[in-house]
Chains A and B, each alone.
Chain A
Amino acid sequence: MTTDLAFSPADAISVLYRAVVVSDIHAVGRDTRDHADESTVVEHILERYAHDPFERLAALSAEFPKPIDALVCCGDVTNRAGIDGYVYGMHKLVDLADQLGAPTVYLTVGNHDLDVRDRHGFGPRACLESAQLPDRLVPSCITAHTLHHDLFEIYRPKPDMTVVNLDTNGAAPTETQGKYGIVDPATVHEIEVALQAVDLTPVMLFVCHHHPYRHGDIALSDYSELHGAPELFAMFERLPEAAWLLLHGHKHQPRLAYARGGAAAPAVFGAGAFSRSLDKYLQAVARNQCYLIEFVRDGRLPPGHPPVGRFRSLEWASSKWVPSPASTRSGLPYSGGFGAKKHPAIMAREIANMIGRAPEQRMRHREVAEAQCEINYLVPSDVERVIEHLREDHDIAASCYMHDPQPVEYGKMRP
């Protein structure tokens, strides 16, 4: 394989948690009424052709850094509440977890996993009851809350790491008809109380299906965002400081940005669809992607800096997973980070000062990243801004290769 998924090693970095993220599978099983054209994971097609995104991802498992602590799925295992699709998708998820060596699967509920229109006549939770993760892959809760009863669960896989899993389809999903996500203020309050009771850990991962902010830039008529998100973000602000990552699916548009709030506002990671066919406007702005995410402590950051994150992004190219291209305009680039919030203009000035002193006035990126460690953990759009500031304000050009938004080299531009 040609993909090198390993992150650059550094003695100062200790990995706290490592997860593979797949979201919005939209698997279609034997029941052909489930709109097979809407997914690339279709049972009767994959039986005949070898272009199975799950198998191709598993084939890369040797190249993933080890160990993988968890496989995270942000919902929509099946398409349009197809029971066959849910069973097929769950089998695929379990196989993938086994092949990656992930001991745990964090699975949240997507709107497609609920039969809100009672298509099968067995109630909205028919799919969820048709297949369940084997016990060995189910994470153990540290509170008595359950997804089914309380719409959230809290896990603590490691002393430094807490995972909150929220069902954003609401207590009565038939009322929303699957048209939008919802988190009730009472549920938010319950989560807050529960978290205060168990204490926060340095890294907090919050997994849900719906997006907390409208993706109005790609669809003006997007009203499916999470109702109740403002209350949720207010809760993050009230809680003690931690490195929060809110991981969601649903919109199929990959993006990574910070939520509203102060310096400790959570990073919001919108995972692209793993295998949902991309139609209409999405073809121009999104790709089918999956991710490897690491939460780390980096000793090169200023003392007291909270844990940060970094990711690798793979893109489905018809028959195999390839490193995602560098542009942030159609999904997340191959590599990036989150958790460091230095202003791009300041970062650019500091890099420019270093380059000004370097021989031949050029420097390799790895030297820059060693001295200005925050650049490794800026979100991809901020890295683009740093490069822009370097060019516009300091006459410094950056050489980038295809798959990596991070430059390989910087050099003072010739007059």
Chain B
Amino acid sequence: MISVRSPLATLFGQGYFNANKLTPTQVGQLFVSGERFEQLSRVDNAVLTGPRGSGKTTFMKMLTREALAHWEHPLGQELLNRSVLSIYFGSDVVLRSQLVDMDQRRDSAGEPDADVRTLQRAKMSLHFLHAILAAVKTEVQAGRASPAQGSGEAAVDVGALWQLTLPYASWDALQTSSSRAIDEISRALMRVSDGSTEDASKLAGALAPPELADLFIRIREHLAAAFDGLPERWLLLFDELEFFPRHVQQELIGLIRMLGPEFGVKLAFTPLSTTGGYLRELTGAFASSGHEYVHFDLAASQIDMRDLLRFAEKLTSRVLGMIGVEDPDLRVIFGVSPFATESLRRGSVRLVSDRPSDDELFSSLIEEHPRFATFASAKNVVTPAERALLSEPQRAASVRKGLPVMLLWHERLFRRRPARRQSKRSRKTNVIFTGYPTFLEMGDGNPRTTLRLLDRALANSGLRAGTEVSPRSADLSIDAETQADVIDTEREVQLALAEVHLARHGVVRGPMGGMQLLDQLGQVFERNVYMGKRFDPDPVTSFVLDDKVDFPIAQAIADAVYTGVLVDVGPVDAVPARPQVLSDIHHLYWRRYRLSYLLGTRYWLPVRKGKAKALSTLLARTAITRGEAIQQTIFESDPS
């Protein structure tokens, strides 16, 4: 049954598309595989970092056996055949509030409150216990494991690790007793918030969880004795570590150092500057304990334009399939983008613009604008006959590469179309950025953004509530104006998230905060596209984070990357031999970044990575510094 206002929210039971709230079964049904997941699944230990919504939780949940069982992919079966018990440890809002917010509490001497710490540790470890029991239950229900004779006694021993007394010897009794203990801890922590520490002291004395490493090792031993057929090797999947309190994060460091080869550990988090060097500590713990590990950063991995589009296409088609659209034709649903290749446009049912062929368009544009004519004359591509003489790479370099920029230039400054709702200077998204494949590329390969774009667009499509029959692609056509509105909305969402994190950095250059810096960069790129003396078919629209950039700016850039407003487009070819910057973000240096495509629409930037310049050069040569000078002059002339 499909809802008009939010078809995907109805499908997934949530409107923000966070894998945290999806069951492993849903994750398995929705998952689009890629090279990175294959790599992640084949290593024993890993640290997975990436921007919000980039798929970290999806990857972690996909490694659970429940999700693998619902994934129709050969790799799913292969991973399922391995004798590894994968256990997912996530977090939820209540856990976060009780663990992280309470972590700030100090006693009268200014030290962390010991009782609160103990209760937090107990709560966290009982939360881990429940995750372990859930994984074991999945194995038992799937018939891959079965309780051994007298297995209940082992439950009593596990409960004793927290000094929990079970009413009778059974794993269900352990689950009930530990649930009650969690409830009691929650109540005691709530009373601490209200100013009463009596219950917390009493409970902290009764519950004393051992160190995490000790706990995992002993629980594994007990379970191995209590259940036949349970995999001996355990894979611990810790997700959303940024929400764990500092002392639990530190315990996980200890856990990595202590665990033997019978355990694998994979950890995922978004290393925003608020996590304060945790990435370095984690990777250091793996290195110092001799465990082999791999660091995957979903932000710092070169996303090829074709990969990005293929991912968005697969995800979109899968979701459309889930709401009952069979063999969706994305060209019909979204219309065809003016930037689409000729082969894609050929035979399309619905074009966003009445655009002629590339060759005809090139001819008309150079005829209309002397700026383009000069360029064409310099490249000897004025007439169709001259262009016909070019080899395919030459044609690509001199005609096809420049055409999208020419088209944008023409559309923005000269096109006379019925006024939408914006003037030429409006920051509203122009319909030129809509249609297939451009609309799908707007998500930058971020699944959450892609799903939200799709949800908002479908909400305004031909879907109707109560549609029982499978809708056809033609029923779903989403007009260009709607797509442009959706891009506007989603861009504001992305900017709001970035603002929250960039505001923490205060001013990073002169009077500018991180968001103003991004805006200035956008304007610099915009000028490169539209205001150069000569037409540049490949203007500078990206930058390289070099080590001459002040560290506060680099930190703000890193947070912008992890909130999704900046996108990594790969490493530079040659990195100068200099001492490495020792920080959590060292791996982000000497890589190219562009504005997210969503943000790029605000500055009318072409939907591609563009040429790059070092950020320090851009900062030194542009109005970014001039703004600072003007500001200083104003303050200096202030008589007060």
Measured CB to CB, the residues of A under 8 A from B are 1-2, 46-47, 49-52, 55-56, 58-59, 61-62, 95, 98-99, 319-320, 360-362, 397, 399-402, 408-409, 411-414
B466 and A59 contact, CB distance less than 8 A: no
**Contact A399/B176 with A362-B170, A411-B167 known, Cβ cut-off 8 Å:** yes
Could you write out 9 A-B pairs with CB less than 8 Å apart?
A: A2-B23, A50-B9, A55-B10, A360-B169, A399-B175, A409-B170, A409-B172, A413-B168, A414-B156
How many residue pairs link A and B with beta carbons under 8 A? The number is 81
State the Cβ distance, B300 to closest chain A Cβ, in Å: 34
- Are A47 and B5 also in contact (CB < 8 A) when A95-B465, A360-B152 are? yes
Neighbouring A residues of B156 by C-beta, 8 Å: 414
Which positions 1-60 of chain B face chain A at CB distance < 8 Å? Answer: 1, 3, 5-6, 9-11, 13-15, 23
Does A55 contact B3, Cβ atoms closer than 8 Å? Answer: yes
In the complex, are the beta carbons of B172 and A399 less than 8 A apart?
Answer: yes
**C-alpha gap A322/B632 in the complex (Å):** 57
Question: Can you name 5 extra interface pairs (CB under 8 A) apart from A50-B3, A397-B168?
Answer: A50-B15, A55-B465, A95-B466, A362-B170, A401-B179
- Which residues in A have their C-beta under 8 angstroms from that of B466? 58, 95, 98-99
Which single residue of chain B is at the shortest CB-CB distance from A412?
A: B168
> How many angstroms between the C-alpha atoms of A408 and B168 in the bound complex?
14
Main secondary structure of the interface of A (DSSP, over half): mixed
Contacting residues, chain B, for A98 (C-beta < 8 A)? 466
B145 close to chain A: CB less than 8 A: no
Q: Report chain B residues within 8 Å CB of A58.
A: 1, 3, 10, 466
Q: How far is the CA of A107 from the CA of B459 in the complex (A)?
A: 31
Residues of B381-415 contacting chain A, CB below 8 A: none
Which residues of A are found within 8 Å of B14, using beta-carbon distances? 319-320
Query: Are the C-beta atoms of B166 and A414 separated by less than 8 Å?
Result: yes
A319 with B5, Cβ < 8 A, contacts A55-B465, A362-B170, A413-B167 known:
no
Partner of B169, one of A1, A49, A414: A414
A262 to B466, CA, bound (A): 46
- Docked-complex contact B13 and A56, CB < 8 angstroms: yes
- Contact flags (1/0) for B465-477 with A, using CB distance below 8 Å? 1100000000000
Contact status B1-A99, CB under 8 Å? yes
The CA of A47 and the CA of B465, in the complex, are separated in Å by 13
Residues of B within 8 A of A (CB): 1, 3, 5-6, 9-11, 13-15, 23, 150, 152, 156, 166-170, 172-173, 175-176, 179, 459, 465-466
User: How many whole Å from B264's CB to the nearest CB in chain A?
Assistant: 28
Chain A CB within 10 Å, residue with most, of B169, B173, B459? B173
Residue of A nearest to B5 (CB): A50
**In the bound complex, do residue B170 and residue A399 qualify as a contact, i.e. CB atoms below 8 Å apart?**
yes
Q: Measured between C-beta atoms, what is the minimum distance from A92 to chain B in Å?
A: 10
**What chain B residues lie within 8 Å of A46 (beta carbons)?**
5
Contacts of A408 in B (CB 8 A): 172
A314 to chain B, nearest CB (A): 12
Residues of chain A within 8 A (CB-CB) of B168 are 361-362, 397, 411-414
- CB pair B170–A411 under 8 Å, yes or no, is yes
Contact of A399 with B1 at beta-carbon distance under 8 Å, contacts A59-B10, A319-B14 already known: no
Q: Cα distance A412–B170 when bound, in Å?
A: 11
Contacts of B173 in A (CB 8 A): 397, 399, 409, 411
Give the Cβ gap from B332 to chain A, nearest Cβ, in Å. Answer: 25
In the assembled complex, how far is the CB of residue A44 from the closest CB belonging to chain B, in whole angstroms? 13
Distance in Å from the Cβ of A346 to the closest Cβ of chain B? 23
Chain B neighbourhood of A61, CB < 8 A = 1
For B172, the chain A residues whose CB sits under 8 A away are 399, 408-409
A1 to chain B: closest CB distance in Å? 6
Residues of chain B contacted by A409 (CB below 8 angstroms): 170, 172-173
Which residue of A is nearest B11, CB measured?
Answer: A59
Minimal beta-carbon separation of A246 from chain B (angstroms): 32
B90 CB to closest chain A CB (Å) equals: 14
Contacts of B23 in A (CB 8 A): 2
Query: Which of B5, B167, B169, B170 is in CB contact (< 8 Å) with A55?
Result: B5
Residue among A50, A320, A414 with max Cβ neighbours from chain B (10 Å): A50
Check if A59 sits within 8 Å of B167, measured CB to CB. no
Distance of A51 Cα from B13 Cα, bound (Å):
9
**Which residues on B sit within 8 Å (CB–CB) of A51?**
15
Query: How many angstroms from the CA of A362 to the CA of B176 in the assembled complex?
Result: 15
Q: Are the C-beta atoms of B10 and A400 separated by less than 8 Å?
A: no
**A2 to B156 alpha-carbon distance, docked (Å):** 30
B617 to chain A, nearest CB (A): 45
Cα–Cα, bound, A50→B6 (Å): 6
With both beta carbons as reference points, the residue of chain B lying nearest to A408 in the complex is identified as B172
Q: B166 and A59: CB pair below 8 A? A: no
CA distance A361 to B152 in the complex (A): 12
